[in-house]
């Protein structure tokens, strides 16, 4: 189950990375970086749920605890990926990265991470796996 969960996360990370390209190219220019990031949390959440719809049955969590463990694994991997990419590739400061999670500064990434965490459980329940 763990290896399948990691493979599913790779699909999610790839989809989210591809999702970020039009955000930077089009939305940032028209709406500004902060507003574009806010919108992309919602569109990205839809992408995560769609991928989850197809991947969660394949992963096969057999219990609530297993589905939450898959969600926790996805969040840990995504945080490492996002923070690592932000710091190492884009050279963002820790303050800039933290702003994406700070609701007071318009950051909604925490909401996106909550969706990522809950997706395996929600999909498993909807699809009758739990």
pLDDT digits (tens, 9 = 90+) for 68-126: 999 999 999 999 999 999 999 889 999 989 999 999 988 999 999 999 999 999 999 99
Average confidence (pLDDT) over 3-26: 95
pLDDT digits (tens, 9 = 90+) for 20-53: 999 989 999 999 988 999 999 999 999 999 999 9
- pLDDT at residue 106 in the model: 86
pTM of the model: 0.93
| Residue whose structure tokens are 């399948």 | 4
SS (H, E, C) 12-42: HHHHHHHHHHHHHHHHHHHHCHHHHHHHHHH
Q: Please give the Cα distance from 116 to 104 (Å, whole number).
A: 21
- pLDDT at residue 81 in the model: 96
Q: Cβ-count burial of 17 within 10 angstroms (0-12 exposed, 13-18 middle, 19+ buried)? A: exposed
């Amino acid at each position: 189950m763990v290896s399948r969960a990691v493979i599913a996360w790779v699909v999610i990370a790839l989809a989210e990375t591809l999702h970020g390209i039009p955000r930077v190219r089009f939305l940032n220019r028209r709406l500004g970086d902060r507003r574009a990031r806010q919108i992309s949390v919602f569109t990205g959440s839809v992408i995560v749920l769609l991928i989850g719809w197809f991947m969660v049955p394949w992963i096969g969590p057999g219990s609530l605890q297993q589905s939450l463990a898959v969600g926790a694994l996805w969040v840990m991997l995504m945080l490492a990926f996002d923070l690592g990419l932000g710091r190492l590739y884009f050279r963002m400061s820790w303050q800039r990265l933290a702003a994406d999670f700070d609701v007071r500064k318009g950051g909604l990434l925490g909401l996106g991470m909550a969706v990522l965490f809950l997706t395996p459980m929600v999909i498993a329940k909807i699809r009758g796996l739990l």
